Structure 1
Amino acid sequence: MKLSVIGCGYLGAVHAAAMASIGHSVVGIDVDADKIALLNSGRAPFFEPGLTELLTEALASGNLTFSTDFADAAGAEAHFVAVGTPQSKDGLGADLRYVNAAVDALLPHVAPGDVIVGKSTVPVGTAEGLAQRIDPTGAVLAWNPEFLREGFAVEDTLRPDRLVYGVGAGAERAESVLDAVYHVALDANTPKIVTGYATAELVKVSANAFLATKISFINAMAEISEVTGADVTALADAIGMDARIGRRFLNAGVGFGGGCLPKDIRAFRARAEELGVGHSVAFLEEVDAINLRRRDRVVDLTTALLDGDVTGRKVAVLGVAFKPNSDDIRDSPALDIASRLAALGANVVATDPEAIANARRMEPDLTFGTIEEALTDADIVLLLTEWKDFTGIDPVWAASLVKTPLVIDGRNALPHTQWIDAMWEYHGLGRR
């Protein structure tokens, strides 16, 4: 099949390369000429494990090209809209200007029977409005939400845990085309759910809201653990054994960040208010607040451990990406904490395997270096992103570099008994 992918950011570039790798002829389209040139050279504009190899193979096969010209989408049977929906600058809602612009630019090049497939995360009700605009062209709209995890996006695209099709008018045509697109996954017995637009739109935002709630719940328990002497990690292990709850995403720490969960739960709240049912998701305000409080906790704890004043004290920050295996620093708790400590007068030296370039562009006044440069003569060490490069550090070696063997494990990810045995003063979040 010939496919087009509109928007070659994180979602679109991965989707285009993955679809080409299974034999489709794919053109990725984006208005950013520099990004397109980079992708056509086989280089990804962001770090994602396995993507560079996938791009190289797909480009070499001739199945994948990238372009800035929307006319190159003509002739495709399916057009995937994969542009961003960032938080609006003047409120909590999603900014849909990029989705609307992408559809407007695409419509002159579609033919009757084409299927336009929304993959962007949008407020419920968006697809219905787009379907009305698309209808005069004879094309049909489907909504096919993505469920990518940064760091595992290639795997999640090639071997998804489920496929959701939101369909309206032209449902039979839309389902048939999507089945052909995803034939490899369907042949592997991937579950498929066919539903209406509204349900498909809600699947992604409600999943993110649930995950955010689960993370903030265990962080709320960490707050209680810290004042009672309980160990939140043991608590999570115990309640996670309940099959109704599960252990995944019950990891207390500095909280969630990135380009999805924070803005998606805020947009969900905003849309619910517009629909007159804001009370239904009012709890998400507290979920957001708990998450942001964890950053405050690390800043406050760092200050307290440095005798109430961080001015001139060297703080080694291990990690600035919002999660490991990613260079994404959007709404990163780690980078926020580093920046706030620097603003208080600390001599912050931060390190990260992949995200330093992005972090430097956002926070040019911060100092960045290697692990060794960060640790040397540090008064305190903060683990804020749980890269294996950091969790695997030899605590004896690290102790030989720092001024004071004092560590805050902001992800409760270090083998703490080894660090304590190496004479470190260890502080986890919500742990003894």
Structure 2
Amino acid sequence: MAVITAPEPAVAAGPAGSGEAAPRLTVIGTGYLGATHAICMAVLGFDVLGVDTDAEKIETLSSGEVPFFEPGLPELLTKALESGRLRFTTSFAEAAEFGDVHFVCVGTPQQQGSDAADLRYVDSAVTELAAHLRRRALVVGKSTVPVGTAARLTELVQRVAPAGNGVELAWNPEFLREGYAVDDTLRPDRLVFGVSSDWAEERLRAAFGPVIAQGAPVVVTDLTTAELVKVAANSFLATKISYINAMAEVCEATGGDVTRLAEALSYDDRIGGRFLKPGLGFGGGCLPKDIRAFAYRAEELGVGQAVTFLREVDAINKRRRARTVDLVAELAGGDLRGVRVAALGAAFKPNSDDIRDAPALDVASTLHRLGAHVTVVDPAATDNARRNHPELSYAADALSAAEGADVVVLLTEWSEFRHLDPEAMGAAVAHRRIVDGRHALDPVQWRAAGWEYRALGRP
């Protein structure tokens, strides 16, 4: 694992030339985003208080344990706790008394039975905090929210807070990639500050002083634009992924090879090759629900036609899962009943234990419903998968999962799966048949070892 080093700590420095002390920070919500932000900001030299209503989560973090998988973060948590700069609490009153800048990092999941974002947790966190704000402070939203939320929360905060208009609200969207969250926090490719005053901008610049000093670009804008940046970025990324997967559908119908097509497109610097990668598609806790919420909000605002394409982006992504199931069935002879399938991967992406909207588990559970006996293996997400899908079987490693399998299907492109030995796997399975759902394997190598190899969008 690569050693991640932090930028030099911010030693009590406020805005340039201001002579002010570095602001004390609170982080409301200690899930994936919040815990990462709190830990990294403490390592940068700030005094940080993490806040959550989940006492068990607070106890876990306080004891030095990160409750999710993220490379490099456990070591930084230990460092931050030992420095004395990081503490955790369940008290909003303590947070209000302690902090100068309050980062709101709670989740905005998709509403049950709707494409809209569920803002209950954001509203609750902001209301609880505001009730105790008795002096000038800056509340900073980092959660991904529908456009217009910041304006509504500004009114809420100033109405509820004893300090009234002395409390301002800003928006600072996050751009973390699971598996790379530490580096994305310490060395972001950009910082976006949505503010309504020079004072709010100064406070944010002080709160990100060490990161800015390392050369991170800063985009200062209004609240509305800052809200839009994250959903626009995710929508663009999702569109690029679904575009090449749409081309995979065409290639399957015509006998073309989508991998060669993607390679040819990547040399065009107007297009580029990043994320122009065909396969099973995207999942996780961000892209799927964010593009749906964006389309829903656009329709509420009367501009739904402008983002109608996002509905098809979502539909293409879902079709890739169904097509992967079809490929497994085709290799098995058309009938999945009684077929033994080894499913390599459960997390929505490698270097993560996140199974939210994971294509891998969607495919595995669909295969199970169609009568297959499915054994799943994942380096990090097995416990989460077992809790959510107890109907599936689980193995400790790929060779164990493949024992007696009729078909192997690669669903999450972990490094250890990319480098599997086709001969060793061949000795374990009943039939050498593999579906490469992520285009992560060398088809020449696997076919040379006697495997029947199939992949989305390839002959």
Flag whether TM exceeds 0.5 (same fold). yes
**1:63 corresponding residue in structure 2:** 85
**1:53 corresponding residue in structure 2:** 75
Q: Which amino acid aligns with 2:71?
A: P
**2:335 corresponding residue in structure 1:** 309
Give the alignment's TM-score, normalised by structure 2.
0.93
Unaligned runs of 5+ in 1: none
Q: Distance in 1 between matches of 2:422 and 2:49?
A: 49
Deviates more, 1:132-141 or 1:34-43: 132-141
State whether residues 61 and 67 of structure 2, in contact with CA within 8 Å, keep that contact through their aligned partners in structure 1: yes
Task: Name the SS of the counterpart of 1:49 in structure 2.
Answer: coil
Task: Name the SS of the counterpart of 1:5 in structure 2.
Answer: strand
| 1:94 positional shift | 0.3
**1:431 corresponding residue in structure 2:** 458
Q: Which amino acid aligns with 2:423?
A: V
Q: Distance in 1 between matches of 2:219 and 2:118?
A: 27
**1:419 corresponding residue in structure 2:** 446
Task: Name the SS of the counterpart of 1:250 in structure 2.
Answer: coil
Q: Alignment identity in percent?
A: 58
| 1:112 positional shift | 3.4
Selected match of 1:13 from 8, 28, 35: 35
Selected match of 1:290 from 297, 307, 316: 316
Q: Residues 124-174 of structure 1, C-alpha deviation per residue, up to 9 Å, x if partnerless? A: 000011111223521111100000000000100010000000012xx1111
| 1:311 positional shift | 0.9
Alignment of 1:127 with 2:154, yes or no, is no
Give matches, 1:1-400, under 5 Å: 1-73=23-95, 74-136=97-159, 137=164, 138-168=166-196, 171-370=197-396, 371-400=398-427
Task: Name the SS of the counterpart of 1:389 in structure 2.
Answer: helix
State whether residues 166 and 194 of structure 1, in contact with CA within 8 Å, keep that contact through their aligned partners in structure 2: yes
Task: Name the SS of the counterpart of 1:135 in structure 2.
Answer: helix
State whether residues 75 and 110 of structure 1, in contact with CA within 8 Å, keep that contact through their aligned partners in structure 2: no
Q: Residues 320-361 of structure 1, C-alpha deviation per residue, up to 9 Å, x if partnerless? A: 100000000000000010001011110100000000000011
| 1:111 positional shift | 3.7
Task: Name the SS of the counterpart of 2:269 in structure 1.
Answer: coil
| 1:304 positional shift | 1.7
Q: Which amino acid aligns with 1:62?
A: G
**2:5 corresponding residue in structure 1:** none
Deviates more, 1:14-23 or 1:42-51: 42-51
Structure 1 residue runs of 4+, over 4 Å off?
none
| 1:75 positional shift | 2.8
| 1:122 positional shift | 0.2
| 1:295 positional shift | 0.5
**2:429 corresponding residue in structure 1:** 402
Deviates more, 1:260-269 or 1:186-195: 186-195
Give the alignment's TM-score, normalised by structure 1.
0.98
Q: Residues 262-307 of structure 1, C-alpha deviation per residue, up to 9 Å, x if partnerless? A: 0000000110010001000011110000000001001111112111
State whether residues 113 and 173 of structure 1, in contact with CA within 8 Å, keep that contact through their aligned partners in structure 2: no
State whether residues 316 and 375 of structure 1, in contact with CA within 8 Å, keep that contact through their aligned partners in structure 2: yes
Task: Name the SS of the counterpart of 1:85 in structure 2.
Answer: coil
Q: Distance in 2 between matches of 1:176 and 1:233?
A: 48
Q: Distance in 2 between matches of 1:86 and 1:342?
A: 27
Q: Distance in 1 between matches of 2:320 and 2:373?
A: 21
| 1:372 positional shift | 1.7
State whether residues 127 and 157 of structure 2, in contact with CA within 8 Å, keep that contact through their aligned partners in structure 1: no
Q: Distance in 2 between matches of 1:69 and 1:399?
A: 56
| 1:429 positional shift | 1.1
Q: Which amino acid aligns with 1:428?
A: A
Superposition RMSD in Å: 0.9
Q: Distance in 1 between matches of 2:341 and 2:332?
A: 10
| 1:396 positional shift | 1.0
State whether residues 27 and 72 of structure 1, in contact with CA within 8 Å, keep that contact through their aligned partners in structure 2: no
Q: Residues 214-251 of structure 1, C-alpha deviation per residue, up to 9 Å, x if partnerless? A: 00000000001111111111111111111111101111
Q: Residues 75-127 of structure 1, C-alpha deviation per residue, up to 9 Å, x if partnerless? A: 31100000000001131100000000000110122243211000000000000
